[in-house]
Amino acid sequence: MWLTNSSVGRKMVMGITGLFLVLFVTFHVLMNAVALFSPEGYNAVCEFLGANWYAILGTLVLAAGFVIHIIYSFWLTLQNRRARGNDAYEVSKRPATVEWASQNMLVLGIIVVCFLIVHFVQFWAKMQLPELLGEHLEFTGMGYVYSAFGQVWTLPVYIIGFIALWFHMTHGFWSAFQSIGANNDVWLSRWKATAKVWATVVCLLFAVEAIWFTIEAQDKSNMDKYGINTEAVVENAVSDAIEAMGITITDVE
């Protein structure tokens, strides 16, 4: 199969799944934006998606996109390292036109995935997962947002995630078009410019949302409104995060 056997085919898979994820990220940031203007609207969006068949189908397609993109990235990197050989250059300089991000896509991707794990523990594991298991949901959509951003560490972690995502997308966006052959001398600079603008708008909007939620979460009345016990939340979130990292804490008596 040429999608797995040929270098051009493999790069096309990487590009198509990458573009799909760019689309998803765009939808995600727009949905979050609803919460900036109307918390009730955001709750409605959460309820609308929930664990309905279309949301589950969407999640599965999305998960497949992520899994293929990640598996291919490691696979391609391994192949490329083998092709490079074991002898490294003593002196190696990056030409001025080569983007730093383009040579560090795997590292940036890993940072994004680490951020995703935290993000999943904070939201998906509490919103769609319990619903799938038929459990009762603790809060409404906004409740989860405030309970997550009520933590001091949430904002810095998210900002790191957004920065990594920005670098990853500035290269990934135009690179995808190059890989699927939709590029030439004129469009190269156009795609590059679009990639920069797109990634900046998306990541900036994400950051604005995260900062806004953090500010809002400081407001005790917001917390009360969604029935969040501030102290219990801190404890739960920390232990959840620790668990997510695969660390088991046993009480030492």
Partner 1 sequence: MESNISFTLKVWRQAGPKEKGGFKNYEMKDIPTDTSFLEMLDILNEQLIEKGEEPIVFDHDCREGICGMCSLYINGHPHGPATGATTCQLYMRRFHDGETITVEPWRSAAFPVIKDLMVDRNAFDKIQQAGGYVSFNCGGAQDANAVLIPKTAADEAMDSATCIGCGACVAACKNGSAMLFVSAKVSQFALLPQGRAEAARRVKAMVSKMDELGFGNCTNTGACAAECPKNIKLSNIARMNREYLCAKIKD
Supply the minimum distance, in Å, between the C-beta of residue 175 and partner 1: 4
Where along the sequence are the contacts to partner 1 (CB under 8 A)? 2, 5-12, 76, 79-80, 82-85, 87-99, 102-103, 105, 171, 174-175, 177-185, 188
Supply the minimum distance, in Å, between the C-beta of residue 227 and partner 1: 48
Given the complex with partner 1, which of 103 and 218 has the nearer CB atom?
103
Angle at 110 between CA 23 and CA 4, to 5 degrees: 70
Supply the minimum distance, in Å, between the C-beta of residue 113 and partner 1: 18
Given the complex with partner 1, which of 80 and 239 has the nearer CB atom?
80
Given the complex with partner 1, which of 95 and 134 has the nearer CB atom?
95
Supply the minimum distance, in Å, between the C-beta of residue 66 and partner 1: 19
Residue 168 · residue 116 · CB < 8 Å? no
Supply the minimum distance, in Å, between the C-beta of residue 182 and partner 1: 7
Distance separating alpha carbons of residues 17 and 206, to the nearest angstrom: 21
Q: Encoding tokens for residue 64?
A: 């497949």
Distance separating alpha carbons of residues 3 and 71, to the nearest angstrom: 13
**What are φ and ψ of residue 115, in 5° steps?**
-60, -40
DSSP letters for 62-79: HHHHHHHHHHHHHHHHHH
Given the complex with partner 1, which of 26 and 102 has the nearer CB atom?
102
Q: Where are the alpha helices (DSSP H) in the chain?
A: 2-5, 7-37, 39-49, 53-84, 105-119, 125-132, 141-149, 154-179, 185-218, 220-225, 230-244
Given the complex with partner 1, which of 181 and 227 has the nearer CB atom?
181
